[in-house]
Structure formats: C-alpha cells, structure tokens
Structure 1
C-alpha cells in the first residue's frame, strides 16, 4: 500500500493515508480501538453496534521512525509501512500484531492428488488456498488459545480449527469440525501467557476465521466482500474483554422470570388434543413446566400468523384453557410467506412492496414449508414495523412468546442467489451482504412488536442471528441429534455463546433428531439444569421424548432435576441482573475466572454457574463416576456437604441420578420453594444456602415481568453471614420485600 505519509486527527478518529489507500482508526474507549480500511464503504453503518458508543477519550498521536503510534491510557496501536500494525498493552508489551509473511498451506496438495480425490467424489475445497477480497494475517504464538465465535461446533478452545460465518441450515448431523452453522458471530478472545484481547470483525459478508489450521505461524481473517473493519479490545482478563464486547454490541435485557423455566415441545404435536394431553401429563406427573410450545403444525397450511381451527379449535380457546393451569403459549414463526392472493399477509406485503426482489425486479420466490413463498425484506424499518404489528393476531389469542425459525433464511429449492435484492439498515443491497443479518432484523422486528403489544419483556427465540442479536432474542443451538457427542458439545457451545454475548441460550434437551434413550435423556436433563433456555424438543419421525415415555426411573430423575432448576431460579435471575452491568453469562467456562490455571485452558466437560457454583455433568454412556477439576478455593459438594481444597482433580460418585455440583465456600446462594410453574404461588419466602462459616452474597428482586425495574422498582439485598448470624442490608429498595428469609448451612 506504500509508505504512510499523512495523517489527520478529527475528534475520536485518526485518518492515515498512504499512496493508494487509507486507514481510519477510531478510539472508542480507553481499551477499544476500531481499525477500518474502507475498501468498500467508509461510512458503513453497523448492524451489530447501535447508536454512538464512542466515549470521549484522551489519546496521543506521534510519528516514530517506524510510522505512527496512537496511544490511549491502556492500549497503543503502532501503524507501520504498508499498514502493518501492532497492539501493545499499557506496559508496552505486544499483544497482537500483523503477520508480514505470505499465506502458505502446511499441507501442500498437488494438482494430481486433488484431481484424484475429486474423481472419487471428495470435497477438496479446504485443500486449496483461497485468497479473499478482504484478508489480514496475524502472528500466532505457540501458547495462544481462542474462545468465543458463538455456538460453533467442537471444543471450547478454537485453536487449530477454521470456521466460516455464513448462516446455514444443515440438517445432517453436526460434527466437531463443522465450518458453519446457523449463527455468525465473528468475535473471539485471544489468550496467552500474560496477555488477553478480543477481536470483533464487523463485516456481514461471507467471512472466514482460521485459528492456525492452515499454518502454525499465523491465524487469519478473510471475507468475500466489504471492509476490513475490526474492533480490538484490550483488558486485564477475559471478563474485561467480554464486558467490552457486550458494551459494543449490547447486552441481553432481563427476561420475564417464567421464560427461564421448563418448556416442552415437539415438531409433531398435531392437534389441540396432543397439546392438551402433554399438558395434562406434565401436571399429573408433577414436572414443573411453563409452556407446551406450538411448532409449525398449529398454522393454517403453514401460513404465518394464522391458526388451524380444524385441528386446534377456535383461536384462543386452547390457550385460555391451558393458561388456567399455568401454561403460557409460545409459537413458532418462520419468515417465508405463502404465495396466496387470498392470504392477507401475502396480499398486503405485495401491495406495499415489502418482499425481496430478484435481480430483474420481480418478487423473489423459493419454497419452504407453505410451498412457494416470498421473503420479507426485514432490513427496512417499515417492513419490520409491519411484521411487528402482525403479531397482534397472536397476542390477541394469548400468545406470550415467539420462536423465530428458518431465518438463515432457509429454503428448499436451492439457496437464495447472492444477487437477490434485500436491504440492510434501509440501504438497498443484495443477499450477499444481507444473508447473515436476516435473522437479526427478524428478531428485532419480533422483539419490538411483542414489547409494544404486551408491555412486557418479550420472549423471542431465534435460530439464526448475528453479533448483537442478544439485544432482542434468546437462542438455541439448532437441530442437534440424540447422540452422546452432541450432549458433550453442550458445554463448549453454550459457554462460547455466553462469552459472545448470548446469556440466554440452550440446546434441545434429549436431541432434536434421532431417537434418544433413557440414559442419554437423563444425562441431558441433568447437564441442562442451569441453562437459561430450558427446553425438551424433538422432531417428527423420532420417538416421543417426554420423560414419562421411558418409565418410572427416568421420570423420577427427570422430575428431580427440573425441580432443582426451579429451586435455583433466583440465583440464575441474579446472574442475569449482573449481566446487565458486566455482560458476563450465567454458564461460564472455568477459564473465564481461572485463566492462568492451565487445567482450565481446554476444560470441556464442566462449567461454572456464576462464580460460586461448579457443575460437572456426566457426558459419557455408562459412566457412574467422573473426574472433576476443582480450581483454587474450598468447594462444598452440594449433595453430601463434603469439603475439598481446590487446585486438584478428584474422583466423585455419579450414579445415574447424580450430577456433581459444588458450591464455593464463602458463597450465599438464593433459592425458592418448588412450584409447578412461575406464578403458581407468590415468591414470598427466600431461602439462602450458605457455604462456610463466613459468607457474603447479593440478591436481586423485581416483579419478573415488565420494565418497571428500569424506573427503580426493584430490591437489591446484601447478605453477610458470620459467627452463626445472618445480616441483611438493602442496597436498593423499590419493590415489595419478602415476608420471610430463611437460611441453611451446607
């Protein structure tokens, strides 16, 4: 690009020009710096980052022999010839730098070998080097590890793997090395000895991140189009980086309390009688449950915002009947709108020109569940407002939550061409740019519609999304399978999602596709006990997956862990309140809080719930004991009260009805009485579980439904336990307090 020769400071930005290119550096905060080479658009408006997040920050710009240095109180960015760069911490130690060599694939396959493999029908795409329109290489250190990237398959540490950001509906079984799934969250945390940083690449085109798979000397980012536009985040620890990233892209709002409870679903409850029977069995077997969710069968010919009166009765009657027993209604909505002139959603959308067009200007059609279908252009504000308003047809009959599916967008008649015309932030563009944010805009429309129509905190669940969608929606990991390897992926997937901003997340308990079995289902419900989206869901053509289908032993254990989930709801809710401030998730990998302990670097089979609980599910068929790593501190076995000094591996008993749970000594954990559903009885009594002779903790309380907490209608308690005495202080008082606070020691 030539030698740097001019630079200019304008407020928070430094524009640096070379002979034939320019670089824009924007100081967002003391620890967040944006690096933009506008090969496409200098004035690009981010989808993930909303509003002005720039904080007035003092920084210096100086010329050096090497180039230019931009220095805040925490981070220094050195720009050198040809726009090579290095980020340094406040002590002057290098954190991250560009790689000056060329890409070299370590396994260099000959044309002959590739031709032979192709003649055998093998996919050789990843055996060839692909140069990208946008590309940057970074020096890779021997000890460096990578976390984040949302729910990409595989292990917690992404070192040695390569991924693509291209939202994809893949029905085949998901293996550990899948390059892409439903979500595109191009954010990761780099960690090594004495340094940590975060990187968010804000480019919605098809992009690629290779964490040293291609070559041990570098890792790289590539994209098919757009800008080289990334945000570097410094920090003292991983938690700092998560806080900075969620500051940039937003934090998940507090959910309604009931949405954190248990949900039962099946693609295949085909009538009101099916739904009614499942609800009856749930209550009859004493399994707490909030909703029996409605998959696509409830619609009239899969037309969105409609109701099948033939199979489900008069709209609203079934919902009202089940609501009397505490069940809330949650239904699926897909983006595909059936081509049918007699269908109001289609005819109105056509009249107002709300659907995507092909390159020739015709309304684009493809095939999904309703048959021939069209796709709303959610990137336009007016289309989102229209879509939001359509939810009135559902809220009027009692729907309280919306589950967005098939919004990659999925299609049955081949993928959507890249030249289909969509919008992004009201700017007409094409599917190549809009694909990865289609689900994001749909979630935004749904959230805003449900908020306006109900006045409550919306429950929106989405399959496809982009960075920042956490502001509008919960997520699940999509169409998993009833196999042990997918149970094993639960922990790294949900922990990486959590560090990527998605604090409300879960997997389909038992597996969506394939047939589960008693042991697998038991171990899955155990492992999911502390998930913030807690749903059993399976597919047509597979055996029914409700717990009573597998006999009394399964039923008893299943009930035990669902009840345990409900007992710990106030602790989970506390952590979601904390997340409003820090961005930290509920489920956390141990490396998040013990990042210098090498035993945590690649720990895939246990996790923390907040900082004060450690959970070690059984993830292997037939296992009745397991090894658990306890980090530094004293840990108390929740079931037995036995104490262990940390920094060691221990062997614990884990029979089929036991999932090892440990409480960190010095903790106070809030708990509630067991109920069959949130709202069955008022939560008048708070129970505190105290670990140790000296302990401290806080607890948050509000009405669990609306946004009045933002106006101060909440309580924040501080508890201190010392010498057998519990003291309570009110840090904030703005809501009706508990009538009774009880405690017990462990």
Structure 2
C-alpha cells in the first residue's frame, strides 16, 4: 500500500516520510508518545477525542539506515521500514511493539459432517480492512482497557468492534460492541508496558490475538491511519499518557458522589416525595433522585408534564431545602410536532440530521416520530447548550443523556444519513460513534455557562475523551449475579480507559432483583464513583427498604460507609485530575509485577489504599481474597496480614471484605443525611501506622473557583520506628475560607503510653484496638510514644 521509502523531511517534531505510493508521518508528541499518521480521508487528524494537544519540544535524532529510518528520543527508538511498518524499542534496544510482517492467517475451525463422521477443516475468509495495523505477539501479553466491553479484565484472545450499540438483550461475554467506543488498550508484558490509542471514530475492529496467536490487529474501512504509541515505565504512566492526549476526568461537584436513587419512572410528584421521605425516615443518606422519561409532556425534551408535576420550580426548590437534587433524563430524539418550539426552532435553523436528499431524517423513539439534532454542527451544539437553561432555571441539578448511540425504534439510522460534521459534511458512518460524545459536550458547556458550576452530565454512549464532559454508566444491565460479577472488570477497564467517574445500575436495571443480590451489589456500588440504584418499570421495587429489615440494614450500612469515605474519594478525584488515574482500579495497575493479579476480576482497589474483595456469587459466605505484597489490615477486625498470598475470609451477607494498606491515612466525614447537611469543622483521619504521605484537599465543592487558587491543602507525613510514631502536619496552601477547627486522629493497632502535639501533652481515649486524639487543625508534629 505504501511501497518503499523514498525520502523524508523534518518539520518541527514531525517527520514526513514519502513512500512510493503514499505519505506517512511520525510525530513526537512527548519523548514517550509517538503518533503514526497517514491520510486516507482527511489531510489532518480531525480528532474528536484530542482537542487541545500540546506537543512537548524535545530532542530527537533521525538517521537513514539501509532499509529503515531510525528516530531516537530520550525514551524510545522508532524504526520505520518500507510499507510504513513501524517498530518501537526502548533505549536498551528491547523490542516493545513491532509490526507483523506476514499476512493475516484466518482462524481455522472444524466442521463436523454427520454423514461421513469425519472432521473437515474449514478456513474462514479473512476480511481485509482498508486501514489495518497488525502487531506481533510475543506470547505473554495481557491486554486491558477498551472501555466497558463485557467479559473479563484481560482482553487477550477476544475480538471487539467499536460501534456504539443499544443492545436490549442481556449482556454476555460474547458481545463485540456495547454503548461506548474507546479504541485504546494497554499491553502488559513480562518486562514492559505500553498503550495504543487508535483515534478513528468510524467503525473500528480490534482482534486481541483471537484470529491468530502470532499477532493482534486493529483497523477500519474508513477514516485515517492515526494511532498513538504510549510508552510507560508502568501502567500508571500509560494511563497518564493516554489522558494527557484525551483529557482527565475533571473534579465534580461533591454532591454527585453521594448516593443516587433512580427508576423508570418516578412520577407523579407525590411518588417522588414518597421516595425522598423513605430515605429520611429510614435513616439512609441520599443526595439525588432521578426522573426518567415520564416527567416530560409526551416525551418531548425540555418539557414538563404539568399533570404529573404541576409546579416544577416549587417542587424542585422544596426538594433542595431537604437536601435532594433532581437529575432529569434528556434523549436526543426531538418529537416531530408542529407548534413544539424545540422542533420548530431546530427545523428553521436546519439543526437536524437529514437524508441524502437534504430532507430532515425521521425515525421513531419514545415520542413517536422524532428527528435527531446534528451535534456535529457547532451551531446546533450551541443551541442545545442554550436549551439547558430551561432545565437549570426550573431547578434541575444535572442532566442524564440516554438513547444517544443514537438509538431508534424503527431500525438503525441508515449509513447515508447526513451530518454537518463541522462544515466538512459527513454521513452516519462517521458521526455514529461520536454522537453521544458531542451531545455530552454540548450539555456540559451549556450547564457550565448557565450555572458557573461544575456540570453533572451522565451519558450512556460516548467516545474516547468524553471523560472531560460526562460521567458514564454501563447501560441497561440485568438483575443477574453474572452482571454483578461482570461489573467489576467493566468498571476497572473503563477507569484504565480514562473514565474515572463511572458506575453501573446497582441492583440491575431489568429483571427482578433479589434481596441477596441487592445486598451484595450495594457493597460494590459503595466503591464505584457513580453510586446509583436504577431499575426498570416492569420490575419489582428496588429501593433499599423494598425487601426486608436485613436488606434495609445492609443498604444503610454501606451507603453510610460511602458517605464516611467521601473526603477520601474527593481527594482521589482531585489527584486524578492531574494524574489521570481512576478511583476504581484493578490490582494490576499498582502491582503489575505480581503475576497473581493479572487475571483478578473480583477484587479492586478504591484509590491506592483500600482493597475491596466483594462477594459476587449467590449463597457464598466465604471469600478467597488475594492480598498483594505488603501488610494489609482487615478494615472490620483490624487484623494485620502479610500479603503476597491468598486468604479465606468469612463474609456473611452483611460483610464485604475490605483491607487497608499499612501506612495509610484515610480522611472520614461524620454521618450526614446528604452532602452539605452540616458544616464540617472537625475532620477525622483513620490512621494505619507505617510510612506514609497523604495530602487532603478542600474547596467549595461546586464551583470552578478552585481553578483560581481557592482551595486548601493539608499534608500529613507519617514515620514510624520501634519506639515512636510521628505525624507531621503541614498546611502548605490555605486560600479557601472554610477551614477546619480540629482533627480527630484515630490510631489503629497501636499500644501507647504518651501523646504529644507540638511538645504539649495531649489526652487520648482508648477504644478497643484504636486510640483517639483530638488536636487543633494547625501545623505541627503529633508524636506518639509506644509502649
């Protein structure tokens, strides 16, 4: 396709290479990130994921050898051969990732012939893609990422498609596509780690060694050859590199981290109030109630059904007075109805997608005949953004974008449906995978401009980079134990793919949940960033009190635990806005040198310090838990356990096995009915002695003023020897007006005989296996003398 290398020229960080038949380029984004590009459709990248790419000016050398070009950065050696074959080496000349030189070899299957009772080998046809990159397999690769594809954490040996799909059938491991398209994966080998982001929003294919164990490949029949090789010393570096390109998950409003209750559908107004009262009456914290499609008039977006909600403004205002926020669903399908202002305005301005003859395209969704906003048109996005004012002015706190694959009832949108595509023109094959992404972007920008607060947007469909604009959930799951089990690797791979703010429908959306399943699912939901219970109209009630007293108590226990851990979660998200690291993390992210964690699907880390090993099988009351190297403390019993082994933990229905890494400082909030229920002047720190450094972050929890420096930092440095434990407290930055008065320090598993703060004796209380100390929230050294 490319032919032999003819010549090359250097243009800043880019090397343009002339082959016999095409032009290719190698661009050095950073010393660790290299872009491989060749124009097949567009002369430029035209990326929807990468919006503000900053290349780092760096030194590199290039030389021409007999049969290849060699580009050397401070971290990588890149060799480019004829036909645009590209190999990546580290500085020790160890091959990290090399192109496969042979032809694709079809998967061989056996056909059983009953007539002759003999096996016949049948070769499947190999579908060659117009653009394809085939990489050699060394043999020990593990693959992670690719968004929330079903199945297990390690994607080696599977194939996938990136084509946003509203699939109503129960999701199983064999699904090639779901609602999201995140064409990024991380490869882990025995000695190296790297990532590849194939920035092509047409339908793309990923075969991770299923077709043949000699290679893996990715490609498409349209778009450009445009992929980024991301080198890293470890998986954390690779995630950081990927989010350097596509963007970090921004810090959300703090209330969005609270518990959220949803159903298709809560209406009328009296039913919503009944649900809210249920939380307060049953002493269960809750911040958010969601309204599904039935709050609208005839399913028309940006409207209210006045029979169900006679005065939305008053209703929402009263709700806020009791600490509840309301999030409303908005689908992209706009009802085709004369006199309906959203439809009429969109038609006047040609804001809707058309057929190939320029006629507005019509399909069916919830409102019946509906038209589709063209979110690839910047003017249409601005219009959609401005319409968010209708909901914000009513008192809505967040927007939930659904059905934005886009979904349709009267067959899928034809490939030739036309879009503006930022003035370039394009059809549905190009816009499909970014439709939800652009809808989320419009929604985010509208809410931000109208409220000047951090927008809360939820989306079902998205593309790489949507983490900048929206939280996500994994879509319409089922109340099946298998879906609970599968939710852990799905959320972990979403986190590795840049989406730190994600969750699933706790309890399952479709089918009838059981009390045991809900009890176990809330123990996972407690640790996912988006913590929402959501269920479907025909199913049984799924609120925490819908079953029996035991189920109610278990829900209360873990929802209250979530609120206790809010400051730790908020700190983790604040750190992630810089590092790109997610909240919910597979063990392999931090312990990739331990082969025992490469395939663990039923455990995860909550931040770096808390290991969670939930029960995900019906009837089980014990759990095999693998603890990586180090010392881990059982959260419930405070037993210290040396890691690097598996243990068997008793796990009655009300207990989720949790372990804290030795040398951890975990900030805790007091009990609250909702976030902001009380002003917190005394913060608790749950301390597990050892060597540690921890930074606690505080801001107003809702605006962008933290971007202008209005926040506080509290730094804790903990050191320990045989005789003494010291915690040095620093306040390196205090520019936000609300400051703590005191700190309550809980010291676990420590026998002491004296406590001093800034050389002054301090009283302490002994409580079972812990010591409690209250000190002023100022700089100083807390010194604990051991017995």
User: 1:726/1:436 Cα in 2 relative to 1: closer, same or farther (>3 Å)?
Assistant: same
The partner residue of 2:716 within 715, 719, 729 is 719
For residues 408 and 521 of structure 1, the distance between their equivalents in structure 2, rounded to whole angstroms, comes to 29
For the pair 1:228 / 2:225, whether they are aligned, the reply is yes
Contact 1:69–1:77, Cα closer than 8 Å, also in 2: yes
Match of 1:437 in 2: 434
Match of 1:86 in 2: 87
For the pair 1:572 / 2:569, whether they are aligned, the reply is yes
Unaligned runs of at least 5 residues, structure 2: 115-121, 749-787
For the pair 1:376 / 2:373, whether they are aligned, the reply is yes
User: 1:721/1:34 Cα in 2 relative to 1: closer, same or farther (>3 Å)?
Assistant: closer
The partner residue of 1:678 within 662, 675, 678 is 675
Match of 1:68 in 2: 69
Match of 1:457 in 2: 454
Per-residue deviation at 1:112?
9.5
Per-residue deviation at 1:128?
4.3
Per-residue deviation at 1:259?
0.3
Name the SS for the 2:487 alignment partner: helix
TM-score by length of 2: 0.92
Match of 2:746 in 1: 744
For the pair 1:59 / 2:60, whether they are aligned, the reply is yes
Match of 1:119 in 2: none
Match of 2:751 in 1: none
For residues 152 and 123 of structure 2, the distance between their equivalents in structure 1, rounded to whole angstroms, comes to 20
For residues 142 and 124 of structure 2, the distance between their equivalents in structure 1, rounded to whole angstroms, comes to 24
Name the SS for the 1:493 alignment partner: helix
Equivalences for residues 147-162 of structure 1 within 5 A: 147-162=144-159
For residues 256 and 112 of structure 1, the distance between their equivalents in structure 2, rounded to whole angstroms, comes to 62
- State the Cα deviation string for residues 179-234 of structure 1 (Å, max 9, x = none): 00000000000010111110000001111000011111110112121111100001
Per-residue deviation at 1:19?
1.1
- State the Cα deviation string for residues 78-117 of structure 1 (Å, max 9, x = none): 011222221011221110011111111232467999xxxx
Deviates more, 1:294-303 or 1:415-424: 415-424
Per-residue deviation at 1:64?
0.9
Per-residue deviation at 1:693?
4.9
For residues 255 and 160 of structure 1, the distance between their equivalents in structure 2, rounded to whole angstroms, comes to 36
Per-residue deviation at 1:633?
0.6
Contact 1:49–1:468, Cα closer than 8 Å, also in 2: yes
Equivalences for residues 237-276 of structure 1 within 5 A: 237-276=234-273
Deviates more, 1:729-738 or 1:361-370: 729-738
Contact 2:53–2:245, Cα closer than 8 Å, also in 1: no
- State the Cα deviation string for residues 548-594 of structure 1 (Å, max 9, x = none): 11010000010000000000000000010111111000111110010
The partner residue of 1:192 within 179, 189, 192 is 189
Match of 2:781 in 1: none
Match of 2:587 in 1: 590
Match of 2:403 in 1: 406
Match of 1:363 in 2: 360
**Equivalent residues, number:** 735
CA-based RMSD of the aligned residues comes to 1.5
Match of 1:101 in 2: 102
Per-residue deviation at 1:77?
1.1
Match of 1:3 in 2: 4
Match of 2:118 in 1: none
Unaligned runs of at least 5 residues, structure 1: 114-124
For residues 382 and 728 of structure 1, the distance between their equivalents in structure 2, rounded to whole angstroms, comes to 51
Deviates more, 1:724-733 or 1:301-310: 724-733
Match of 1:201 in 2: 198
Equivalences for residues 16-165 of structure 1 within 5 A: 16-108=17-109, 128-165=125-162
Per-residue deviation at 1:599?
0.4
Which structure: larger Rg?
2
Equivalences for residues 437-586 of structure 1 within 5 A: 437-586=434-583
Contact 2:689–2:725, Cα closer than 8 Å, also in 1: no
Match of 2:759 in 1: none
Per-residue deviation at 1:270?
2.7
Per-residue deviation at 1:273?
1.4
For residues 725 and 192 of structure 1, the distance between their equivalents in structure 2, rounded to whole angstroms, comes to 40
Contact 1:423–1:434, Cα closer than 8 Å, also in 2: no
Per-residue deviation at 1:129?
2.5
Match of 1:118 in 2: none
Match of 1:120 in 2: none
Per-residue deviation at 1:606?
0.3
Name the SS for the 1:550 alignment partner: coil
For the pair 1:624 / 2:626, whether they are aligned, the reply is no
Per-residue deviation at 1:74?
0.6
Name the SS for the 1:679 alignment partner: coil
TM-score by length of 1: 0.97
Name the SS for the 1:293 alignment partner: strand
Contact 1:717–1:729, Cα closer than 8 Å, also in 2: yes
Contact 1:32–1:234, Cα closer than 8 Å, also in 2: yes
Match of 1:116 in 2: none
User: 1:672/1:420 Cα in 2 relative to 1: closer, same or farther (>3 Å)?
Assistant: same
For residues 128 and 475 of structure 1, the distance between their equivalents in structure 2, rounded to whole angstroms, comes to 37
Contact 1:156–1:602, Cα closer than 8 Å, also in 2: yes
For the pair 1:211 / 2:208, whether they are aligned, the reply is yes
The partner residue of 1:166 within 163, 167, 175 is 163
For residues 53 and 666 of structure 2, the distance between their equivalents in structure 1, rounded to whole angstroms, comes to 38
Contact 2:106–2:123, Cα closer than 8 Å, also in 1: no
